Amino acid sequence: MNPTMQDITIQDLDSPIGTMMLAASESGVCALDFAERRPAILGRLERRFGRLMLRRPHRPDATAERLRAYFAGELQALDAIPVDPGGTPFQREVWSALRAVRPGRTISYGALAGRIQRRSASRAVGAANARNPVAIVIPCHRVIGSDGRLTGYAGGLNRKQWLLDHEEKHG
């Protein structure tokens, strides 16, 4: 038996906070993370899709252009990017609520749990946030601790701070 292969388009994008790896299925962005995490990104994609057929685009696509526009200060450019993050129904609910947090704003885990009508689930919301496979487009960097402090970010707190400062400056 020859299992089917999932076509995934991958490309690296330079950004002010480091090179990012963008991976997309035919349904949307399924991974966006910092390129130094490439082995982990590919591992997650293989666990989700099985065998992968990785392809490079002939030229940058609309998603890459929207990400470049975001980094150039057009914060709303992220809104039009389709995502295909996978995940559980709960994770997708959290990630959808995250996309509703506007650039330049922050939200606590508890407040995000309240937005999805699960006020006692702030830890589960934190866990879903930590498993977000589509950084920046699903803006997990906008989630902060209940005391207003920056909390964990897979790309590092310095990058999280840069993103928040960038959004505040251009928002």
Contacts of 79 (CB under 8 A, 6+ apart): none
Report, as residue numbers or ranges, the catalytic residues. Answer: 140
- Looking at 20-24, 51-55, 58-62, 70-74, which range is the least confident one? 58-62
Element (H, E) at 42: helix 38-49
Asked if residue 107 and residue 70 are part of one domain, the reply reads no
The pLDDT of residue 37 is above 60 = yes
Range of the domain at 112: 89-170
Assess if residue 1 is contained within a domain: no
Task: Answer yes or no: are the C-beta atoms of 76 and 103 closer than 8 Å.
Answer: yes
pLDDT of residue 101: 97
Q: Which pLDDT score is estimated for 2?
A: 47
Q: Are residues 115 and 54 in the same domain?
A: no
From 52, 80, 108, give the residue that closes a domain: 80
Q: What is the CATH number of the domain that holds 54?
A: 3.30.160
Domain count, the chain: 2
Q: 3-14: per-residue pLDDT in tens? A: 688 999 999 999
Q: Which two three-digit tokens encode residue 65? A: 């252009």
Spatial neighbors of 134 by CB under 8 A, at least 6 apart, are 29, 30, 31, 32, 83, 85, 95
pLDDT tens for each residue of 59-100? 778 999 999 999 999 999 999 999 999 999 999 999 999 999
Residue 121 located in a structural domain: yes
**Is the predicted pLDDT of residue 103 greater than 80, yes or no?**
yes
Token pair in block for residue 151: 């909390």
Do 70 and 43 lie in one domain? The reply is yes
> What is the predicted pLDDT for the residue at 169?
96
Claim to verify: residue 12 and residue 76 sit in the same structural domain: yes
- The pLDDT value recorded for residue 171 is 83
pLDDT recorded at residue 3: 65
Asked whether the predicted pLDDT for residue 1 surpasses 50, the reply is no
Tokens of 62: 């609309």
Q: Does residue 108 form part of some domain?
A: yes
Mark whether 76 and 115 lie in a shared domain.
Answer: no
The pair phi, psi for residue 144, each rounded to 5°, is: -125, 170
Percent of the chain with pLDDT over 90: 89
